[in-house]
A = this chain, B = another copy of it.
Amino acid sequence: MAMRRAASAAVKAMAGSPSVISRQLHASPGPKKIVGVFYKANEYAKLNPNFLGCAENALGIREWLESQGHQYIVTDDKEGPNCELEKHIPDLHVLISTPFHPAYVTAERIKKAKNLQLLLTAGIGSDHIDLKAAAAAGLTVAEVTGSNTVSVAEDELMRVLILTRNFVPAHHQAINGEWNVAAIAHRAYDLEGKTVGTVGAGRIGKLLLQRLKPFNCNMLYHDRLKMDPEIEKEIGAHFEEDLDAMLAKCDIIVINMPLTEKTKGMFNKDKIAKLKKGVLIVNNARGAIMDTQAVTDACSSGHIAGYSGDVWYPQPAPKDHPWRYMPNQAMTPHISGTTIDGQIRYAAGTKDMLDKYFKGEDFPAQNYIVKEGKIASQYL
């Protein structure tokens, strides 16, 4: 990987292009500078030995990296021209980031990062990286595909139930000294018998549908591809080629597609107006798939009777993000993919890719988002 970047740089050098940057091949020998950007845990860092995803514990790979002579800088300070990350951009070789506390890798940062070869996402979801700019620079972007799909799918089903059964206002009664069953019960439902549609039925969508099956819902899915008939039958969901036609049927919609140029802002005012009045929406994919204000307005009017997700734009969500204060929401900070179990898996997957990178070996094929300048088809 990063070969194309080097090759392209070489071609440009030969052509005498003024923008030529000399870059090393990833497999070049010698120590590398690796920067990791993770959320800070402070007093929580030492409470659990498996809490690997925080800045303090830094995926548990510091000793391993340093024993091989590599430099490992870790920070949570990722925004603005004077942040810690910015200082290391000019000479880092590898940047490890996460979706939970995203280091936004913009075209400008890529331009400045003259030694950069590899962008690793510890987790799933690399939309905080400008993939086009990364590809144009011949870089490789990879994530730990599968590392927290189960974590996210479980969390989605939890949210489906929380909204359907009207948990949040009920819990608030409990802690506020109140007891008003009617205020909850007049709009609490069973999940059984409801129509649930997933927009996207990739790894996470399929895991969700498998877990939904015993709830006896009417399950629909929209995706670029219809499932293999045998898998579809086993999962028990019905394929809907026309997204809008599916959405109009759903009591509950779960968003399970990546954020791309095409999906950005897809759920705008017009799209939401076509949904059933009283629809429930779960979104653990990416906040920017929704039009923030349109969701806020529809939750306020009751057209959306419940919205739950743990993704926002930007992240961390500012104190005044309207989704914090709209009614009928069950929002959380971005946590669904960073359970302790998920952390153990994505720390191991990141270590494995670093090891392969040092040895000049290929990564597991499904991990590539951009491979040596070539973007995977689903992100185009």
A residues apposed to B, CB below 8 Å: 39-42, 44-45, 47-48, 51, 53-54, 100-101, 150-151, 154-155, 157-158, 161-162, 164-168, 170-171, 173-175, 177-193, 210-211, 213-215, 310, 315-317, 319-320, 323-325, 329-336, 338-343
Contacts and interface: CB of A to CB of B under 8 A. Distances in A.
B181 A335 contact: yes
Counted per complex, copies of this chain come to: 2
B181 A100 contact: yes
A341 B174 contact: no
Contacts of A315: 179
B341 A182 contact: no
A154 B158 contact: no
Contacts of A338: 181, 185, 188
B332 A167 contact: yes
Given A158-B167, A170-B335, 10 more contacts: A44-B182, A51-B182, A154-B161, A165-B336, A166-B335, A171-B330, A174-B331, A181-B334, A187-B340, A192-B341
A193 B187 CA distance: 33
Given A51-B185, A162-B158, A193-B341, A333 B215 contact: no
Contacts of A178: 333
A51 B333 contact: no
A154 B215 CA distance: 8
A332 B161 contact: no
A34 B95 CA distance: 73
B175 A324 contact: yes
9 contacts: A47-B186, A100-B181, A150-B190, A154-B165, A155-B161, A170-B332, A173-B332, A178-B333, A184-B332
With most chain B CB atoms within 10 A of its CB, the pick from A170, A188, A192 is A188
A184 B53 CA distance: 12
Contacts of A170: 310, 332-333, 335
A324 B177 contact: yes
Contacts of A167: 158, 162, 332
A343 B53 contact: no
A54 B183 CA distance: 11
Given A191-B154, A331-B174, A53 B185 contact: yes
Nearest to A54: B182
